[in-house]
Amino acid sequence: MRAGSLPAVVEPIKLADSGTRLTGQLPVKAMGRLRALCLDESDKVSIDLSFERSSDRTLGRMQGTIVASLQVVCQRCLEKMTLVLRAEPSVILIRAQDREDIIGRDTDSLVVDGPILLSNIVEDELLLAMPMVPMHDIDACLAGEYRHRQERPNPFSVLGQLKHRD
């Protein structure tokens, strides 16, 4: 499928039956919960998801990569930071009625009883990948810089030593 022509609504089972790969970008604007955490709602999410039929009794499988580069607030220094989120979902597609049978298995599942918003699937995966508290790396964080500065010897203490030598 051509990039940029992602369907808004998908039927994962049909996509799996036809072995479809979806690649393109979705706007953060379309994802309410994610947008609430971002400073710039023009940020984009890149997706590359493959749907394929599976050989067991499930309905299919979805796997691929979702990457978003988001502008958020660092919770340490409260300045803007770029948070790169990467999700690599690998989930089986099941119907709600089969959930009980399959839930014990060591695998992630996506309940697909009908058409769903592609942005919802993508948003759920990104929220799972989201750190509880987004922060700059300590070396890149203004709060970290402040801390380092405090740890350095005070240049005026050298003046004090000179004075004592007199």
Which stretch, 37-45, 72-80, 96-104, 116-124, contacts Zn ion (CB under 5 A)?
Answer: 72-80
Query: Measured from the CB of residue 137, what is the shortest distance to Zn ion in angstroms?
Result: 9
Q: What is the DSSP string of 58-124?
A: SSEEEEEEEEEEEEEE-TTT--EEEEEEEE--EEEEE-GGGHHHHHTSSSEEEE-SS-EEHHHHHHH
User: Using an 8 Å Cβ cutoff, are 1 and 19 in contact?
Assistant: no
User: Using an 8 Å Cβ cutoff, are 105 and 9 in contact?
Assistant: no
CA-closest candidate to residue 12, choices 39, 56, 51: 51
Query: Measured from the CB of residue 151, what is the shortest distance to Zn ion in angstroms?
Result: 17
Q: Is 73 in the site for Zn ion (CB under 5 A)?
A: no
Q: Is 83 in the site for Zn ion (CB under 5 A)?
A: no
Q: From the list 34, 74, 110, 122, which residue makes contact with Zn ion (rule: CB under 5 A)?
A: 74
Q: Is 66 in the site for Zn ion (CB under 5 A)?
A: no
Eight-state DSSP code of residue 48: E
What does the per-residue mask of binding to Zn ion show for 13-42, with x meaning CB under 5 A?
------------------------------
| 3-class DSSP assignment, residue 36 | coil
Which stretch, 9-17, 104-112, 123-131, 139-147, contacts Zn ion (CB under 5 A)?
Answer: 139-147
Which stretch, 45-53, 63-71, 74-82, 114-122, contacts Zn ion (CB under 5 A)?
Answer: 74-82
State the residues that interact with Zn ion by CB under 5 A.
74, 76-77, 136, 141
